[in-house]
Structure 1
Amino acid sequence: MHFLAPWALVFLLTIPVIILFYLLKQKKQQQMVSSTLLWQKALADTISQTPWQKLRRNLLLFIQLLLALLLVLALTRPFLERDQQAGASFILLVDTSASMLTKEEGGTRMDLAKAEAEKLIKAQSSGTKFTLIGVGPVPEILSNQSDQHEVMDALQGMQPGYQEANLDHTLSLVSALLEKGTMAPVIFYSDGGVSSPEGPVGVKEFQYRRIGTREDNLAIGAFSWRDGPDGPVAMTRIDNYGVTEQEVTVNLLSEGQLQDVRVVIVKPGKPGYLFWPIPKQASYLEVYLEGNDALDLDNSAWLVPRKEDLSKALLVTEGNSFLELVLKLNPLLEVHKVKTEGYPGVKDQYDLYVFDGFWPEKPPDGQLLVFNPPASSGLIGESVGLVTEPLQPLPEQPLLDHVSWSDVHVATSKDVKLPTDGQALLKSGERTLLAVGKVDQVRAAVFGFDLHQSDLALRAAFPILIQNLTHWLLPGVNPTETQVKIGTPWELRVRPQVDEVNLYDPDGQKISLAPPFPIMKATDKFSPGLYTSEQISKGKKELSPIAVNFMSPQESQVKPVIHLMLGKKDLNVEVSTKVIWELWPWVVLTALLLLAVEWWVYLRGH
Structure 2
Amino acid sequence: MGFLSPFSFLFLSTVAVLISFYFFKKQFDRQTISSIYLWNQTVKDFETNRWHNKLKTNFLLFLQLLFMIALVFALARPYVTSEGINSDHLVIIVDTSATMAAAEENGTRFELAKEAVEKIVNSLNNEQVVTVIEAGRIPELLTVKETDQGKIKRLLDELSMSYEEADIKESVKLAQSMLHSASGEIHLFSDSVQKEMMQKLTLSHSITVHNFGTNNRNISLQSFGVKAESDSVSGVVTILNEEKSSKTVSLTISSDEKKLKELSVELPPNEVTVVRINDLAKEAVYEAVIAEKDGYQLDNRKYAFLGKQEAPTVYAAGNVNSFVIKALQAFGTEVVSVSKNGADRYVFSEEEEGSIYLLSGVPAEQWPSGPKLIFSPTEGGPLKIESKKELSVTLSGKSDPLLDYVDVNSFYLAKSYPIRESAHLQSIITSGDETIVAKGTSAGAPLVLYSFDMEDSDWPLHPSFPVLLNNSITYLAEHQQALGTFLPGKSEEVTYSSSTSEAFITRDGEKLMEINLSDRSLTLPKQPGLYELQEETKSGTLSRYFAVELSNNERTARVEPSFSLSINHEENSSAGFSQQDIWHWFAVLALIVLFIEWEVYRYGIRGR
TM-score normalised over the length of structure 1 = 0.55
Match in the other structure for 2:167 = 166
Q: Provide the C-alpha distance between the structure 1 equivalents of 2:211 and 2:488, rounded to a whole number of angstroms.
A: 25
Match in the other structure for 1:146 = 147
Shift of 1:558: 2.6
Match in the other structure for 1:261 = 262
Match in the other structure for 1:516 = 518
Matched, 1:542 2:536: no
Contact 2:233–2:282 (CA under 8 A) maintained in structure 1:
no
Shift of 1:306: 2.1
Distance 1:284 1:190, change over 3 A: same
Shift of 1:233: 0.9
Matched, 1:398 2:386: no
Amino acid at match of 2:511: Q
Shift of 1:356: 5.7
Q: Provide the C-alpha distance between the structure 1 equivalents of 2:574 and 2:264, rounded to a whole number of angstroms.
A: 42
Matched, 1:104 2:89: no
Match in the other structure for 1:185 = 185
Q: Secondary structure at the match of 1:557?
A: coil
Q: Provide the C-alpha distance between the structure 2 equivalents of 1:272 and 1:572, rounded to a whole number of angstroms.
A: 41
Q: Provide the C-alpha distance between the structure 1 equivalents of 2:301 and 2:232, rounded to a whole number of angstroms.
A: 24
Post-superposition Cα deviations, 1:489-508, rounded to whole Å, max 9, x if no partner, equal: 57577477453573534243
Shift of 1:548: 2.8
Match in the other structure for 2:77 = none
Distance 1:482 1:496, change over 3 A: closer
Shift of 1:283: 1.7
Contact 1:183–1:205 (CA under 8 A) maintained in structure 2:
no
Contact 2:84–2:123 (CA under 8 A) maintained in structure 1:
yes
Match in the other structure for 2:592 = none
Matched, 1:94 2:114: no
Amino acid at match of 1:238: I
Match in the other structure for 2:467 = none
Shift of 1:168: 1.1
Post-superposition Cα deviations, 1:323-371, rounded to whole Å, max 9, x if no partner, equal: 877778889984335xxxxxxxxxxxxxxx53266899x9964599999
Alignment of 1:260-279 (within 5 A): 260-277=261-278, 279=280
Match in the other structure for 1:470 = none
Shift of 1:147: 0.3
Shift of 1:215: 0.8
Amino acid at match of 1:213: T
Shift of 1:485: 4.2
Q: Provide the C-alpha distance between the structure 1 equivalents of 2:266 and 2:511, rounded to a whole number of angstroms.
A: 38
Q: Secondary structure at the match of 1:335?
A: strand
Q: Provide the C-alpha distance between the structure 1 equivalents of 2:212 and 2:556, rounded to a whole number of angstroms.
A: 15
Distance 1:356 1:293, change over 3 A: same
Match in the other structure for 1:558 = 558
Alignment of 1:356-505 (within 5 A): 365=350, 396-398=380-382, 401=385, 404=388, 479-480=479-480, 482-487=483-488, 491=492, 494=495, 497-499=498-500, 502-505=503-506
Matched, 1:288 2:273: no
Contact 2:98–2:550 (CA under 8 A) maintained in structure 1:
no
Match in the other structure for 1:355 = 340
Contact 1:288–1:301 (CA under 8 A) maintained in structure 2:
yes
Shift of 1:100: 0.9
Q: Secondary structure at the match of 2:111?
A: helix
Distance 1:278 1:193, change over 3 A: farther
Shift of 1:314: 6.1
Q: Provide the C-alpha distance between the structure 2 equivalents of 1:581 and 1:150, rounded to a whole number of angstroms.
A: 29
Alignment of 1:560-579 (within 5 A): 560-562=560-562, 569=569, 576-577=576-577
Amino acid at match of 1:531: Y
Q: Secondary structure at the match of 2:507?
A: coil
Alignment of 1:201-212 (within 5 A): 201-212=202-213
Contact 2:193–2:211 (CA under 8 A) maintained in structure 1:
no
Contact 1:200–1:566 (CA under 8 A) maintained in structure 2:
no
Q: Provide the C-alpha distance between the structure 1 equivalents of 2:177 and 2:111, rounded to a whole number of angstroms.
A: 29
- Superposed CA RMSD in Å reads 4.6
Matched, 1:531 2:516: no
Q: Provide the C-alpha distance between the structure 2 equivalents of 1:396 and 1:358, rounded to a whole number of angstroms.
A: 21
TM-score normalised over the length of structure 2 = 0.55
Shift of 1:122: 0.8
Q: Provide the C-alpha distance between the structure 2 equivalents of 1:477 and 1:301, rounded to a whole number of angstroms.
A: 20
Contact 1:284–1:305 (CA under 8 A) maintained in structure 2:
yes
Post-superposition Cα deviations, 1:189-228, rounded to whole Å, max 9, x if no partner, equal: 2213479457442332211223121111111111112345
Match in the other structure for 1:301 = 302
Q: Secondary structure at the match of 1:354?
A: coil
Contact 2:488–2:549 (CA under 8 A) maintained in structure 1:
no
Q: Secondary structure at the match of 1:154?
A: helix
Number of aligned positions between the proteins? 402
Shift of 1:579: 7.0
Contact 1:332–1:478 (CA under 8 A) maintained in structure 2:
no
Contact 2:138–2:167 (CA under 8 A) maintained in structure 1:
yes
Q: Provide the C-alpha distance between the structure 1 equivalents of 2:495 and 2:327, rounded to a whole number of angstroms.
A: 21
Shift of 1:235: 1.7
Contact 1:304–1:482 (CA under 8 A) maintained in structure 2:
no
Matched, 1:120 2:120: yes
Shift of 1:130: 1.0
Q: Which sections of structure 2, spanning at least 5 residues, go unmatched? A: 1-79, 361-365, 367-376, 391-452, 461-474, 586-608
Larger Rg: 1
Distance 1:226 1:113, change over 3 A: same
Contact 1:171–1:201 (CA under 8 A) maintained in structure 2:
no
Alignment of 1:209-288 (within 5 A): 209-227=210-228, 231-277=232-278, 279-288=280-289
Shift of 1:458: 7.0
Q: Secondary structure at the match of 1:85?
A: coil
Distance 1:399 1:99, change over 3 A: closer
Distance 1:167 1:363, change over 3 A: closer
Amino acid at match of 2:336: H
Contact 1:355–1:370 (CA under 8 A) maintained in structure 2:
no
Amino acid at match of 1:215: N
Distance 1:399 1:91, change over 3 A: closer
Match in the other structure for 1:156 = 157
Amino acid at match of 1:235: V
Q: Provide the C-alpha distance between the structure 1 equivalents of 2:243 and 2:232, rounded to a whole number of angstroms.
A: 35
Q: Provide the C-alpha distance between the structure 1 equivalents of 2:170 and 2:576, rounded to a whole number of angstroms.
A: 25
Amino acid at match of 1:109: R
Alignment of 1:2-151 (within 5 A): 83-144=83-144, 145-151=146-152
Contact 2:296–2:557 (CA under 8 A) maintained in structure 1:
no
Q: Secondary structure at the match of 1:398?
A: coil
Post-superposition Cα deviations, 1:65-114, rounded to whole Å, max 9, x if no partner, equal: xxxxxxxxxxxxxxx99522212221111221111111112311111111
Q: Provide the C-alpha distance between the structure 2 equivalents of 1:332 and 1:510, rounded to a whole number of angstroms.
A: 41
Q: Provide the C-alpha distance between the structure 2 equivalents of 1:232 and 1:566, rounded to a whole number of angstroms.
A: 57
Distance 1:571 1:500, change over 3 A: farther
Q: Provide the C-alpha distance between the structure 1 equivalents of 2:246 and 2:280, rounded to a whole number of angstroms.
A: 32
Shift of 1:263: 2.2
